[in-house]
Structure 1
Amino acid sequence: MRDRLVGAARTAALNAHAPYSRFGVGAAVLLIDGSVVTGANFENASYGLSLCAETVALATASSAGRLRDVAAIAVIGGAMDSGGVPRGLAVVGPCGRCRQVINEAAQMGGRDVTIWCAAAEGDEVERYTVADLLPHAFGPADLGIGV
């Protein structure tokens, strides 16, 4: 499953719209029924309006009514070559905002979501949980909202 998710994230990264940073990121979200939803980063000339790949993938799952079904997510990234293909051997993890968004999905689903972080190329993959990447996370339960 890990390799399937990382592969889907690498494929999604090929669709990154990253003309400013030239850093393509792809994400793949595994749902509890085995289906996979993907996303790529989407930059905007007004940088603050840009969207991370993880957020795009999770928003896609949410728009299909599946936010509570998230079981795992893979994220990869790398500097884009002249053809727009992300390259590099450095493992990429979710930014702080994405960690918070992943935490929301995990709390809504009542499960500890596995996060696979990988490079754009190569075999190195690191496994984390939400608690590993965002200890003492703030979420729906802190607002008194049942999950």
Structure 2
Amino acid sequence: MKKSEEKALLIQGKNSLYDRLTAELKHADDEGAAEQFLDAEAIVDQYLYAINEQSMDWPDRQDLAYACTHILVTTKTMTQGDLDFLGRLNSVMLGISMIAIAPQIKDMKDRAIAGLEKMAASERKISQLNGVDQPLENDIPF
């Protein structure tokens, strides 16, 4: 495959991810946003579990690319390198070893979870500054 063809396929893969994200991603204040995040995380977990169990029962590579994009975008942890990698994963015309990418997928999930924890801590801090009490972990709110 020519370098120009590969580059065009990478761009197409990235654009396809962007279009899907634009069409499907719910706003943070939407009730379904948390469920959507959990669904994306479940796809990533399904892949990582399959790799760990040496099974080929992993999700479709385009669904995996979208799930990774979703968790990275919503936690504001996406990098340009992630976008390039996920564009390649999303482009089925480009070869990629589903086994060899496991460390990258695991890293993306770890960064997304860390980003989510950071966002939650920031929200708690803002609530405290605004005088809104946060329930304790073991506190029953009724």
Asked if Structure 1 and Structure 2 have the same fold, meaning a TM-score greater than 0.5 normalized by the shorter chain, the answer is no
Higher relative contact order (CA 8 A, sep 6+): 2
TM-score after normalising by structure 2: 0.28
TM-score after normalising by structure 1: 0.27
Which structure: larger Rg? 2
